[in-house]
Amino acid sequence: MKKICIVFQTILVLGVFFSSCNLSYKAQKDDNVDVEDELVYCHEQIKRSLQMIKKDSCLLPRSINTLSDQWNMIDVYDWTSGFWPGILWYDYENTRDEVIKHEAERYTNCLIELLNPKHRGDHDLGFQFFCSFVNAYRITENPYYKQIALAGADKLASFFNPKVGTILSWAHIDKSMGWPHNTIMDNMMNLDLLFWAAKNGGNPDYYRIAESHARVTMENQFRPDYTNYHVAIYDTIDGSFIKGVTNQGYNNESCWSRGQAWAIYGFTMVYRETRNKEYLRFVEKLTEAYLKRLSDDYVPYWDFDAPSVPERPKDVSAAAVCASALLELSFLEDNQSLAAHYWTVAERTLASLSSEKYKCGNQKPAFLLHATGNLPAGYEIDASINYADYYYIEALYRYKKMKGLQLAKKN
């Protein structure tokens, strides 16, 4: 606790200093996000969405196209199916509104179908079970949710390839794409489910699997400038790294901004779980590479290296993922000036996302505008997307709790 307090004291002092560094951000009326107002906004948008979507169905809202105000709905097999229940859990945690809890429980239970052996699944089981069942268990402490989340972790761990040392991310395209064992950067996020399972009554070996995945990814999937390849291809016979390519970025050598945000969030989590300083030093480098390329309103273009003509869409999801990660990293950091820097960047990112430019307001029932899902494949470009909203509400709630700690220290 003492260490946390020292870090936060320093954050307050150095926040001012860092405000003039690196990025020429035009401050909003106040860089201290009015977190209560923003969480009320999220709650109101959720209630609007619940009114609009079909009741008693297991279809879940995924995205809203640029010119629409209607949710595109998906079934539980979609990779994003955990985010809507996760949004509801965060909102319930903040408001204690029993109507929201009821909906969170109902949508969470829909995802049990993912355990059906007829559904093969892939690395996205991590997003799906962590955002829904692990949040449900964390908030309610109901052992039923824990039991289902542990079964989800078993299914995710079954994709681990000991020869390579990582999880096979996309089992469905291993042969068709000539990608015998592929590991995508997004997969870093899903180690959270394995670390959680290892310390919550699941197979303790999942800690080793998660750590192995992180280490092999760290050693192979980054360029010398600490940007990453979206997809790493490995040899299934000898386990060696063959090449790095992209699926959702501009090209194989470009830095897809959400991929970099997934890496920052993922390696922050790996440091949280292992306390191995090698990962902390590594995530500092990843963050530096991201911040060096960032636009002056803290919301990146969809790919840092995409040409500016025609106009590049932005991606609020990368910004929201990164803001949430940097709040946690500021808490874990042993270098106090960096801790202050990360806190300031996260705060400014949230202030920017909470401005008129990025919020849906009355236009649409989602939280945020201007997310980009998969530009090369031509969908969800400059849209509202559930995972942008999930990491936005997670970051707001983290910020609120951490601010509370700061205030408790001052009083």
79 vs 399, beta carbon nearer ligand GLY = 79
Indicate the residue whose CB is closest to ligand GLY.
186
230 vs 348, beta carbon nearer ligand GLY = 230
| Minimum CB distance to ligand GLY, residue 385 (Å) | 9
| Minimum CB distance to ligand GLY, residue 340 (Å) | 29
Active-site choice (91, 122, 186, 315): 186
| Minimum CB distance to ligand GLY, residue 186 (Å) | 4
Looking up tokens 């003509």 gives 309
List contacts with ligand GLY (CB under 6 A): 186, 248, 258, 373
103 vs 382, beta carbon nearer ligand GLY = 382
Q: Is 124 a catalytic residue?
A: yes
8 vs 302, beta carbon nearer ligand GLY = 302
| Minimum CB distance to ligand GLY, residue 373 (Å) | 6
289 vs 383, beta carbon nearer ligand GLY = 383
Q: Is 192 a catalytic residue?
A: no
Active-site choice (91, 122, 124, 297): 124
| Minimum CB distance to ligand GLY, residue 97 (Å) | 30
Active site residues: 124, 186
